[in-house]
Structures are given as C-alpha cells and as structure tokens.
Structure 1
C-alpha cells in the first residue's frame, strides 16, 4: 500500500458537499442514498432526507433495509471507493485543495454499501480488498476511473 505520510481527512473536506436534485440542493450523503437505494421514503419535514429504503449491497450481495436513526443509520454507509488516505498515498497530495474536495465528494467515488463491510475495507485498495465475485469487475473499473479522473497512480499490487 502507498505511504500515507501527511494524510489528514481535513485536507479533502470537512464534511459532505451538496448537489442539485431537481429544484432542491441536498447533501451528498442523501443524494447517494437516493441514487443507490430502492423503495425510498423521505422525511416529511425535509424532502432531501432519506428516511428508509432498501439497498442491494454491491459488496456482499445482501439486501439491507435502511432506517434513518442514531442506532440504525450505520447499517448503510457511504464508501469512498478510492479511500481518501489511499488517494493521498497515490498522488492526491500533489493535486489542489479544490481537486481533493472534488475527489471526496465525487458521486463516481461514492457508493452506498453495507456498513460493517465498509468498516473492514477501511482504506484498502483493490489489491487488499475485493467485494463479492459478481461485483469485482465493476468495483475495479470504478476505482480505475476515479484514479484516472484525478490523476492518481495505480500501485504494482493493484495491477
């Protein structure tokens, strides 16, 4: 794995960016939930907030019912397909602050996934973490697309 010397999450952004959804601007986490979940319901007081939905987790293949709440929201997490610390170690330390913010908030690099699997993936690259066989090609292609977009390099073990 590439060196993470000097890495800090704060060098990418301080939180979720926002994105236009029709005539509304919503935070990126809820945008990704809207994109990746099915059968979603929204909070009555805030159209942007996804209240519930179903995720067919691309990493494990299992169906997860998402329910917004302190005790339940971690069942579905938003993964940085190219982890930010991995990005740092493969060239992001050389790109502008604006480009790092874009990388952290790029929907191409964000994916709703099973929370425990995301936690175990942590900052691993494709040489150290691969999802279930049926999603591996899409996962690797997505990692490569993100790395190409932000001019990050692919390490020898990833090849």
Structure 2
C-alpha cells in the first residue's frame, strides 16, 4: 500500500523556477528578469539565490502580458496601472476599517443613549447648603489705589 502525502502550497509561496514560471506565463525567461529589474515582479529567493515564483507571481505576469499585448500599454503604463490598483486596494481596506469603526461607535452611542434613558437624570451643579451663589458677571472689579512715594518727595517734606 502506498502512502499519500498531501502538501498544500499558498498562492504566495515561491515554488516555480524561472523556466517553469516563464512557460506558465507564456514568456521568455529573460522577460521575467527584465520585469524584475523594473520592479514589476518580485520573486522569492532560495537560500542559494535562485528565483522562485509563486502562483500569484505567475498570475501577475499573465496580467502584465495582457496589458501589453491586448491593451497596447508600454511598461511605464503597466507600472502606473499596477500602482493605481495597489492604491485602490489600500483605500478599500482603509474604508472597510473605518466602516467597522463607525459601526462600533454607533453601537457605543446607542448603549449610552439607553443608559441615559434608564437613568433619566440631568446633570446639575451641586451647591453647598447655605453658600451664596454669585455669578461672575455680577462681581464688580476691585479698585485699589496705591500711593507711591519717591525719595525726592521725602526730601522736600523734611
């Protein structure tokens, strides 16, 4: 009886050498090297430095090829499209994060409103019994006169 071992590989794990990735993407291996030099693709590296492409890398290579052949974009245009898509993904993640936070805050507000209704009390100022309350606008400013005597005034009076 043969033993079967099931191995699962994530889409980001580098498993294809450059020749296999090039064949899967229907490109020449040199094209993959050029795309890497331009920063369009970043393959993983083995401990010995061999390029290892993931399934996601191969899909990205196919997408680049589609943009250049079917859409007629040059590599600068491809770079810009990929950059804009990356910005859009980040913005979408941020919006989702803000929507989750807004929902949390709405729940907190609803809880506070329920508590306020349960208490049914207003916040009022506490005044100590017997203490006179004076409003600041009713207080008249103190006027004081200071007499300053100079040395030469003392000399004359003497």
Name the TM-score class by shorter chain.
under 0.3
Q: Would you tell me which structure has more strand in proportion to its own residues?
A: 1
Identify the structure with bigger relative contact order (alpha carbons < 8 Å, sequence gap 6+). 1
Tell which structure's C-alpha radius of gyration is larger.
Answer: 2
Task: Report the structure, 1 or 2, having the larger helix content.
Answer: 2
Give the structure-2-normalised TM-score. Answer: 0.21
